[in-house]
Structure 1
Amino acid sequence: MRPGVAATRGSTSGEERALTSVAAGERYRAQEREEPESTRPSDAPRLWHVTLSVSGEKAPLHEVRRALEQLAHDHPFLLTSRYAPDHAEIRYWEEARDLHDAAAVALRLWGEHRQTAGLPPWEIVGLEVIDRQTYHQRIAEGYGPAPATPVGVHPF
């Protein structure tokens, strides 16, 4: 199977679809253009960049890839996943009221989808949640992870 392409689960025809990311909705972009962050209500949703790291016992590489592709299929908000036989990293944007909400969703992601996506029984070993401004500031200064491209599921 080509990188960045996932087979549709349960498909007998071998149907494939490209993994894609989902940009912020028009409502969010319009709100961002019209209101400086300092004037927004405190409960208005914001974008948070999430990096979730998981690790555990070695698993067959093809099974790890298939599980991450299934997770991306089930949740197209995932930007990119990197994986190895004993660890993986998932990066995506989360829309949430505050950091606590974004972190809570991120901490549930792996466990809630372990069965449906067939994810390995690994534990979460790292979590970073930063706001959009901090993410772009890090990139501009040459720090932090490179922008999440190419989109999809890739080996380390």
Structure 2
Amino acid sequence: MRRLASVQLGSPQHRNGEQAPTAAGEPGHREEAQTSRLWHVTLSVAGAEVPLADVRRSLEQLAHDHPFLLTSRYANDHAEIRYWEEARDLHDAAAVALRLWGEHRATAKLPPWEIVGLEVIGRETYHQRVAEGYGPPPAVPVGVHPF
């Protein structure tokens, strides 16, 4: 699984204009543990119609470039990407997910669609939902499939 570089959303150095204490009280040091957790991400995108073959080819290229993608479902005007992200917290996992489509639009030749939905849930919540019949079943078969 790939490692995520932490995204500094609302970092302690900038909250309320104060500096966070450092090692031995010096400004700028963060003592929080940088442990990673697994987050289940569902990213939904939509836009103008594109030929199905082009959408499939783009999603297959994205999956090839980033093998962490579990499954993608698509139609000619929308798609859903599901995968596991390793991140320090929900904020980091969501930040990566929100950049995924735009950052890979050119390299994977993704359609110029916008993100219309994002769900990021912890591993325990994901498994609890599946066990209770409320969540989507595990991504089987893995890969790129039409809706």
Structure 2 residue ranges without an equivalent (≥5): 4-31
**Aligned residue in 1 for 2:58:** 67
**Aligned residue in 1 for 2:48:** 57
TM-score (norm: length of structure 2): 0.78
After superposition, the C-alpha distances for 1:12-61 in whole angstroms (9 at most, x for unaligned) are xxxxxxxxxx6x99xxxxxxxxxxxxxxx753100000000000000000
Name the amino acid aligned to 1:78.
L
Structure 1 residue ranges without an equivalent (≥5): 1-21, 26-40
Match of 2:128 among 124, 137, 145: 137
Taking only aligned residues, the RMSD between alpha carbons, in angstroms, comes to 1.5
TM-score (norm: length of structure 1): 0.74
Could you tell me how far apart the structure 2 residues matched to 1:149 and 1:108 are? 25
- 1:78-117 matches, cutoff 5 A: 78-117=69-108
**Aligned residue in 2 for 1:118:** 109
Deviation at 1:144, TM superposition (A): 1.0
The 1:79/1:130 distance shift into structure 2, 3 A limit, reads same
Name the amino acid aligned to 1:152.
G
Aligned length: 119
In percent, how many aligned pairs have the same letter? 81
Name the amino acid aligned to 2:141.
P
Match of 1:47 among 14, 19, 38: 38
Could you tell me how far apart the structure 2 residues matched to 1:155 and 1:60 are? 12
Rg larger for: 2
Question: Which runs of at least 4 in structure 1 moved beyond 2 Å after TM superposition?
Answer: none
Could you tell me how far apart the structure 2 residues matched to 1:147 and 1:109 are? 21
